[in-house]
Amino acid sequence: MELMNKVALVTGGGTGIGKATSMALAKRGATVIVNYSRSRVDANETVKRINDEGGRAAAIQADVSRDEEVRAMVQTAVQQFGTIDLLVNNASITKHIQMDDLESATEEVWDELFDVNVKGMFFTARAVAPYMKKKKQGAIVNLGSIAGQTGVGSSLPYAVSKAAVHGLTKSLAKALAPDIRVNCIVPGAVATRWWEGREEQMRQLAPRLLLKRISTPEDIASMICAALEQEAMTGQIITVDSGQTL
């Protein structure tokens, strides 16, 4: 799919991988809707940068874990831009809990992570699907994690939530075919603010990777755009991790 003149919604689009993806889509000629929940300043800065560079973007607030807010966001976006052609389900959260600390994986932690990381992606995909089906063309990319493949991550509930995202991708690919393609990009370690306070751990990891480097948000954004463009692919789980899982 040619991204020029398409309308793209990027959840969590003001920071990290979301920001890099918003910028990459704008450079390819897409109109970008930068969703945010709490990072208003970051989202507005991303929008300003895109617009200053000759692109077209707007920021819309919504908590993706709340279906009514997602539906309102999509309605506002469609009223402003006419449709939504592309969705990048990037918004995710975590809690840093030792994997063997089962008592700290409380019901509240499970609910919070699944509400955003899994249900939020479903809510947003469901809200945009009618507009894509109307045009008989659309593409969705979900952001997974190698934690969902290895079972090891920032917390046990986070790893399980990302495994669920991988499953959600396959189920949505079946449910939305043939008009809408759904794929999942699975990053390993990425140099984002998730490493705040653990920068030394990140630096120690890099030499142990096959490619001797931590991925950048731009690395992941490039693959997201490629997945949106590729018209012969759906239901795929694509790992981008500098060889971390080998």
Separation CA 19–CA 28 (nearest Å): 14
Please give the C-alpha separations between residue 16 and each of 9, 195, 201, 215, 229, in angstroms, as whole numbers: 15, 11, 18, 12, 21
Q: Which amino acids are annotated catalytic? A: 158
Task: Report the candidate in 216, 178, 183 with the shortest Cα–Cα distance to residue 86.
Answer: 183
User: Can you give the C-alpha Rg of the chain in angstroms?
Assistant: 17
Separation CA 143–CA 227 (nearest Å): 12
Residues 6+ apart with CB under 8 A from 90: 10, 11, 12, 13, 17, 18, 21, 143
Separation CA 20–CA 190 (nearest Å): 12
Measured in Å, how far apart are the chain's first and last C-alpha atoms?
A: 31
Residue corresponding to tokens 């189920």 = 171
